[in-house]
Structure 1
Amino acid sequence: MKHRAIIEQLTLEEKAALMAGKSVWETKDFPEKGIPSVFLSDGPHGIRKQEGSGDHLGLNASVPATCFPTAATLANSWDPALVEEVGAALGAEASSLGVHVVLGPGLNIKRNPLCGRNFEYYSEDPYQAGKMAAAMIRGLQSQGVAATPKHLAVNSQELRRMASDSIVDERTLREIYLTGFEIAVREGNPKAIMSAYNKINGIYANEDKRLLRDILRDEWGFTGFVVSDWGGSNDHVLGVENGSHLEMPGTTTVGQKELIDAVQSGRLSESVLDERVDELLQVVLDLAAQEKRSIDVNKQHQLARRAAAESIVLLKNEDQVLPLQAEKTVAVIGEFAKNPRYQGAGSSLINARQVDNTLEAMKDYPLTYVGYAQGYQRIDQPDEALVTEALALAQQADTVLYYMGLDEISESEGLDRTHLQLPKNQLHLLEKLAAIHEKIVVVLSAGSVVDMSWDKHVKAVVHGYLSGEAGARAMLDALTGLVNPSGKLSETYPIALADVPSSKEFPAEGDYALYREGLYVGYRYFDTTQTAVQYPFGYGLSYTTFAYGDLRIHETGLSMTVTNTGERAGAEVVQLYVGKEDARVFRPSKELKGFAKVYLEAGQSTEVNLSFDDKTFRYFNTVTNAFEIEGGTYQLYLGASVSDIRLVAEITQEATTEHLPELTGLDSYQAGQVLQVTDEEFTRLLGRPIPVESWQVGQELRLNDPLSKMQYAKSGLARLVYKLLHHLLKKAEQKGKPDLNLLFLYNMPFRALAKMTGGMLDQQMVAAILVIVNGHFMKGVGQLWKAFRAKQGYQKQLS
């Protein structure tokens, strides 16, 4: 142990106390023993430090900070250097605010476009997600703070997120859901990592020894500490035993006593507890010793603007209607132009220092501006007066800039979406505008995929995603040609939600989320099955054009030439995909294995070099329990998107093993046709029986059932509590703003009551409450009183 001298001074009670926070955001300290406290804060795209009363959902105010573009936005830049620069700015700002640990980046895979938290995640592809996350981590930690990639792992839905079991086969787990984290850890070396709420194949992520010790620490070389998501610790003793260090938020003496009792009973070895304390102290002592950084607020804002501009995706530009011409008149329509939607909702909600506004910024651009009309209510409800006003204005202009997007209630932490459509009132206005005007440019704001069947009615679509506090000016930069759009999509836009393989059972409403589609997530499915899409992965237009040529393959990589063949300077994202047409071990037809963003003046050419690495040709072999390479010929595809391949070559690789996995009876997976995978095939893929839902209406509720199941409770009081909760959620929905506290409660399992009440309840008290919920009022009250008295006793003893 590196800190044996300190640990030998600590009592069992003190060591146990270190394994949980002392508050919502701070770690436990013992100054007299040389152990400081460090401050943790949400921060995937801005620092959300709360002073005073803290919470983890963005309910209470936080100090002003720079709001950078979200991860979903930055991913569209395909520029790790830019992301690292943003990370360094975030790290410096965290340090300036006294934050030691930044809870981000988020890099869960976008398995399904309905996931309410997709705006916080980078990509549907693990390679791209991992590269972006590694860059963010390097940037953050260059400023003396710790990054915390999250949520490890297979965390793909918000419904029942704390009480769901992700059932996934081993190969898919390793290739799709862990590869991004592997890249982030190996290339970013984060000082912390956050475990997910959910179970993975029956084991809670926060207490999964194979995940947290065997893979994360021993295989990937992670040397930091593992922190639970807030309220995500199930069995604190198992968590500590199997590789988790910090239970958050603070549970005062509740978690402490669980560890003390476990050590004294022999359930937990004190040497294991010492090991966890040592690993935690290694990071805490280093962070506390760092000097505080300072920032230039204006420079932060300008970086946010540049990051937003380089992430804008030009989806359509018919008749080259963009960039806008100064002599043509422009009308601005849409409530989002006046009050931009620039970030998501939930734990990442930033109290932005300075939010740019389109209407205020128009005067600074060479535009002939004729006026603004709101056009629609932000909440999805009809308003024909606003429609009439917008139509009248549109007729006065050569070009209409129509600002559309998802509203706050449409995508939020704690709430999955139910469809891909934009609000009906926005679509209604678009239909009316298209009937009277030929030149409509849609400026889109949303953190995730939307249905875009309406794009045939407009000349151009420019997607800014959720672009942060400076997004309005960044968009005007792109619309006027000051910036040439260079963003590319990091997720597929399907024609219909039903085309997405996971959609049939997403989000899973029961105990189990079945990942039947296996490897075929996003473009891996659409490209393999040649299913038509609205916009493919990696797609994005420019105001210029690029030519690819002179491809040369060598043993360790490839080189090729890109030429800007247009009349404007611009940037191109060269994408390398690898496939194996004659594969014996099934795989998608193409997989992203490299990319580079290059900036070129008009007429300029440059050489692009892409190196092969240990992930270029590998697959996970369930026989050898290791990544292997299948021998034979591989196809190398260079393109501007997964569907726009410009150059193709081949290379031969030697096999690393002759022991191949058994593939009999997996015809759907061999062909990638996974829309209708049978139970029999999924069972064969898993290598074990599919778990069966163990709870039915009429049964007693269990500790890990969510509070939403109180609708079926035997206690009339519990059912009444559910009705009140449901009613309040519906009221919040009608107001157009998600109530994150209520959403958290709705999805929270009973056992989390002991983790989220600041030590007011312990698990014995929660068990007694569950007895009441299950209809045994007097018995439960008696148990609750007994448990309460016992808790008072041990709190007095430990204080």
Structure 2
Amino acid sequence: MNDEQLDRLVDKLSLDQKVRLLTGATTWRTAAEPDLGLRAMVLSDGPAGVRGESWDERRTSALLPSASALGALWDEELLTELGRLLAAEAIRKGVHVVLAPTLNLHRSPLGGRHFECFSEDPELTGRTGAALVRGIQSQGVAATAKHFVANDSETDRLTVDVRVPDRVLREVYLAPFERAVEAGAWLVMAAYNRVNGTTMTASPLLGEVLKGHWGFDGVVVSDWAAVRATRETARAALDLAMPGPDSPWAGSLTDAVRAGEVPEPAVDDKVRRLLRLAARVGALGPHRPRTVPARAHRGHRALLRRTVAAASVLLRNHDDVLPLDPAALSTLAVIGAHAATPRTQGGGSAEVHPTGTVTPLDALRSALRGRARVVHVPGPALDVPPAPVTPDHCTDPRSGAPGVLVRLLDADGRELHAERRLSGRQLEPTLVAGAHTVEISALLRPTTTGTWTFGVAGFGRMTLRVDERTLLDAAFPRRTDDPAIVHVTPPLRTARTSLTSLRPVHVVARRELLPGDGRATVLAAAPPAPDTRAALAEAAAAAGGADAAVVFVGTTEHSEREGRDRTSLALDGAYDDLVRAVAAANPRTVVVVNSGGPVELPWRDRVAALLLGWFPGQEAGAGIADVLLGRAEPGGRLPTTWAARLADAPVTETRPTRGRLPYDEGLHVGYRAWLRTGREPAFWFGHGLGYTRWDYESVDGPTRATEGSPITLRVRLRNTGPRAGREVVQVYLARPGSTVDRPERWFAGYAAVRAEAGQRVTAEVVVEPRALRHWSTRDQEWRTELGTYRLLVGRSAGDVRCERPVTVTGAP
């Protein structure tokens, strides 16, 4: 639909009708306008999958590996394919807009939302995000580039004022969003935070840069509840305030326009953009049913399984212990709680309920059935709060079926609604008129005698009873406005009581529903923890009696999640002691790390192999088993530098001082900061081993280039290892003697190649003109410094194999 047609539609609307369209009709829907043929559009989180309008464990979704895993792919074709899968899921669930990708950076290793972001590098982040955008929108579903901009940590994220110089903002933090706009993104989400004193929903960056310099013609949507004022945000280039129906715009934008405080042409532009979006996603004009491409569902599990392997990063492989040869195994020890209950996704608004999860333990048992015995030892218990109860050990006290009973009660305790659910974590229990209390109850059959820990989560007055014994009865007021905490991860209150094995108990948790406190309610339980020394001894004994041992370690939902930054990179519980004990018992010890972001690995040189599996999504176990047993190569490369110790990391601060968080490191983020300080990390950006070896034989390219022209390098390399493999050839730039501040070197491009054992192959890497430019604050435009640059070719930011100079001259 062209602009002239859109203008005619806008002219048909009254001011009241226009304003009504600019605030969501519900939490996830926009308003409809039947007279225009405009239907409601449905928006949905998120990067790991498409949840839809409800948070219900019975309505499942395909669960992709975490965004940090996708950042490790370095494969834009595969990313585009994953984008198409997200679009197919959106169509299946009646969703028009997917709130992805997240284009914020891994600025500090302590960032709590690492798992939802791709990389520490703006170029890699931009390319990764753009590929995902292209895939999503190729099916007529809108992608949303978020969170614009500098929303790179969680501490005080609703109010923090990020202080970042103009040049750094342009070259580092805005750069991935510019890539997404060039890829055609139809929405951009304005973040909660401030940048240089102005809240992003009212920021001039929306108009001057996003819509002005970049020519963005789509919709700028607020993060949920990020609009806190009417006039400032409406005068800015924000277009859609979410959620609805209540927002500062809904209540007073019409009055502000009539009072001359907000020009009506600005409102018209917002409506025009919303109508353009509706036309793009099929919500304007004659209704045409959307269908899911058949190929999207036929092979989605295979695609996700392939992605797990492609994103896995082999950090260490001493004496080529990996891949394990199934024919040479009689007993395999699989150790650690994460083997049986892996973390498949990060915690927060991006969570979905997967269609099913393949665990590493189940996948290894299946793959080795009839060949080798798989022995599993969980190891020491993690020092974490109890988890929500599940159908594995609970039944609905009314029906006796696996699960829990959820009831809505009125103020007098009378039942208004009841249903069996599959989880003790109810984020959106069915809301009915007159509901005063949410109750979750279950018959729990203890598997262990001893002191059990129970918990209930939420805000307001809560009670917890076990067989009529009241363990908790108190009021817990809400002290935060963060929607991730109020609606997704409310604090858990715990109490303990003694239980006898196999003697069922009736557990009942209740919480009062108060306006503004959300509906999220959780009933949790945990058995008594085993003795740590005994658990370590059991693990060591299992490892000592096996041909090889695979130890699974990782973070928990309490250490990596939305709404809270991390305070340490150390693994939870006794994981370090577990790895040391197993490695001492078996020299063929492989460790698989199940985390969304960097963790400390103090024992990394003591183990034979070290594999990073990220949060791998629903096909976690299948893909990891493929890698461990050599069915697939670990294809990933690190999108972020990993420190040996937090104390070594050059940039760590996520906590504002008096409301401000200065980005004092400037351009020097990630590997750039490590190079500047001269420190050596545990593993560099770009690192990843694969299952073969490569010789870099030569690099060819021009010695001179004209300003504004691409530079093409041809890198000749040979697979010198024993099997076919994939190599990611990386190119970095350096500018000795530059007249402006520069990183020691910065990432400029890459190309992936595949070759059989012994085969030579040529990688062609194109360095785009943008890689050489810098933002002139004085001139407020991009400049390219003329002179000689060094083109550095290698396997990571810290492993340069060859280089070539190129002199950039002015255009004739």
Gaps of 5+ in 2: 385-528, 706-710
Q: Is this contact kept in 2: 1:572–1:598, CA < 8 A?
A: yes
Q: Is this contact kept in 2: 1:376–1:387, CA < 8 A?
A: yes
Aligned residue for 1:535, secondary structure, equals: coil
Q: How does 1:118-133 map to 2 (within 5 A)?
A: 118-133=114-129
Structure 1 position 75, deviation (Å): 1.0
1:580 paired with 2:574, answer no
Structure 1 position 608, deviation (Å): 1.6
Q: How does 1:512-523 map to 2 (within 5 A)?
A: 512-523=660-671
Q: Is this contact kept in 2: 1:575–1:594, CA < 8 A?
A: yes
Aligned residue for 1:615, secondary structure, equals: helix
Give the one of 10, 17, 29 matched to 1:26. Answer: 29
Give the one of 623, 631, 637 matched to 2:792. Answer: 637
Letter paired with 2:350: S
Q: How does 1:5-44 map to 2 (within 5 A)?
A: 5-44=8-47
1:276 paired with 2:270, answer yes
1-structure distance, mates of 2:247, 2:744? 54
1:300 paired with 2:300, answer yes
Letter paired with 1:33: L
1:350 paired with 2:378, answer no
2-structure distance, mates of 1:596, 1:250? 45
Structure 1 position 179, deviation (Å): 0.8
1:422 paired with 2:571, answer yes
Structure 1 position 218, deviation (Å): 2.0
Structure 1 position 125, deviation (Å): 0.2
The corresponding residue for 1:685 is none
2-structure distance, mates of 1:444, 1:656? 50
| CA gap 1:383/1:189 in 2 versus in 1, 3 angstroms | farther
Give the one of 543, 546, 549 matched to 1:394. Answer: 543
Letter paired with 2:602: S
Letter paired with 1:475: I
| CA gap 1:453/1:388 in 2 versus in 1, 3 angstroms | closer
Q: How does 1:472-491 map to 2 (within 5 A)?
A: 472-491=621-640
| CA gap 1:528/1:373 in 2 versus in 1, 3 angstroms | same
Q: Is this contact kept in 1: 2:640–2:686, CA < 8 A?
A: yes
1:86 paired with 2:82, answer yes
1-structure distance, mates of 2:607, 2:715? 36
Structure 1 position 315, deviation (Å): 0.5
Structure 1 position 457, deviation (Å): 2.2
The corresponding residue for 1:498 is 647
Structure 1 position 235, deviation (Å): 2.1
Structure 1 position 214, deviation (Å): 1.6
Give the one of 237, 254, 268 matched to 2:231. Answer: 237
RMSD: 1.8
1-structure distance, mates of 2:273, 2:210? 14
| CA gap 1:291/1:379 in 2 versus in 1, 3 angstroms | farther
Letter paired with 2:10: I
Q: Which moved more, 1:427-436 or 1:624-633?
A: 427-436
Structure 1 position 655, deviation (Å): 5.9
Give the one of 526, 538, 541 matched to 2:689. Answer: 541
1-structure distance, mates of 2:59, 2:340? 24
Give the one of 59, 62, 65 matched to 1:63. Answer: 59
Q: Is this contact kept in 2: 1:115–1:416, CA < 8 A?
A: yes
**Partner deviation per Cα, 1:35-80 (whole Å, 9 max, x = no partner):** 21100000212111133xxxxxx6x547211001111001111111
2-structure distance, mates of 1:435, 1:603? 36
**Partner deviation per Cα, 1:150-193 (whole Å, 9 max, x = no partner):** 0010111111101110001111111110111111211x210111
1:106 paired with 2:255, answer no
Letter paired with 1:82: L
The corresponding residue for 1:312 is 312
The corresponding residue for 1:448 is 597
The corresponding residue for 1:591 is 746
Gaps of 5+ in 1: 52-57, 658-799
Aligned residue for 2:701, secondary structure, equals: strand
Give the one of 205, 214, 220 matched to 2:214. Answer: 220
Q: How does 1:648-797 map to 2 (within 5 A)?
A: 648-654=803-809
2-structure distance, mates of 1:298, 1:466? 24
Aligned residue for 2:146, secondary structure, equals: coil
Q: Is this contact kept in 1: 2:140–2:282, CA < 8 A?
A: no
Letter paired with 1:628: R
1-structure distance, mates of 2:152, 2:246? 31
The corresponding residue for 2:134 is 138
Aligned residue for 1:453, secondary structure, equals: coil
More helix by share: 1
The corresponding residue for 1:286 is 280
1-structure distance, mates of 2:36, 2:14? 11
| CA gap 1:530/1:340 in 2 versus in 1, 3 angstroms | same
**Partner deviation per Cα, 1:387-444 (whole Å, 9 max, x = no partner):** 3332222221021100101111110000110000001321222232233332211011
1-structure distance, mates of 2:53, 2:754? 40
2-structure distance, mates of 1:336, 1:364? 17
Letter paired with 2:223: D
1:161 paired with 2:173, answer no
2-structure distance, mates of 1:338, 1:499? 33
Structure 1 position 625, deviation (Å): 1.2
| CA gap 1:656/1:201 in 2 versus in 1, 3 angstroms | farther
Aligned residue for 1:234, secondary structure, equals: coil
Give the one of 37, 45, 48 matched to 1:45. Answer: 48
Give the one of 240, 243, 259 matched to 1:246. Answer: 240
Q: Is this contact kept in 2: 1:547–1:562, CA < 8 A?
A: yes
Aligned residue for 2:178, secondary structure, equals: helix
1:566 paired with 2:721, answer yes
Q: Is this contact kept in 2: 1:477–1:483, CA < 8 A?
A: yes
2-structure distance, mates of 1:236, 1:283? 23
1:194 paired with 2:189, answer yes
2-structure distance, mates of 1:623, 1:655? 20
The corresponding residue for 1:337 is 339
The corresponding residue for 2:179 is 183
Aligned residue for 1:493, secondary structure, equals: coil
Q: Scaled by the length of structure 1, what TM-score is found?
A: 0.79
Q: Is this contact kept in 2: 1:62–1:350, CA < 8 A?
A: no
The percentage of aligned residue pairs carrying the same residue is: 36
Letter paired with 1:512: R
1-structure distance, mates of 2:280, 2:637? 38
Q: Is this contact kept in 1: 2:228–2:248, CA < 8 A?
A: no
The corresponding residue for 1:206 is 201
Aligned residue for 2:39, secondary structure, equals: coil
The corresponding residue for 1:507 is 655
Structure 1 position 628, deviation (Å): 0.8
1-structure distance, mates of 2:673, 2:248? 47
| CA gap 1:34/1:297 in 2 versus in 1, 3 angstroms | closer
Q: Is this contact kept in 1: 2:541–2:585, CA < 8 A?
A: no
| CA gap 1:212/1:606 in 2 versus in 1, 3 angstroms | same
**Partner deviation per Cα, 1:241-294 (whole Å, 9 max, x = no partner):** 211111111143752232111111110111111111111111113313564132
Q: Is this contact kept in 1: 2:325–2:630, CA < 8 A?
A: no
2-structure distance, mates of 1:500, 1:591? 18
Give the one of 261, 264, 276 matched to 1:267. Answer: 261
1-structure distance, mates of 2:117, 2:18? 35
Structure 1 position 495, deviation (Å): 2.4
Structure 1 position 223, deviation (Å): 1.2
The corresponding residue for 2:474 is none
Aligned residue for 2:53, secondary structure, equals: coil
Aligned residue for 2:281, secondary structure, equals: helix
2-structure distance, mates of 1:253, 1:321? 58
Give the one of 505, 513, 531 matched to 2:679. Answer: 531
Letter paired with 1:584: T
2-structure distance, mates of 1:32, 1:251? 20
